[in-house]
Amino acid sequence: MSDILLVFDLDGTLVDSVPDLANALNEVLRERGHEALSRAEVAPMVGDGVPALVARAFEARGGSAAEAALPCRATSRSTRRMRRT
């Protein structure tokens, strides 16, 4: 049997994940009383991992990185509802 190597490129080059990321972020932001972000606002925030993405989203809406680090209920529901990626 030969070895198989699978490579995933999750930075948006092969798959446009911004719509799902924006939906998940917006659920978390709304849960904490912040306004939602547009897809255009989310797109440049993507690229340095989930903690950085969430911190950027909260900071864009006047929140803090510390607030972004708190656990929330919306995150687990959002990942189950991703439709596009």
Residues labelled catalytic? 9
Rounded Cα distance between 60 and 6, Å, is 35
Retrieve residue 30's tokens.
């709304």
DSSP state of 15: S
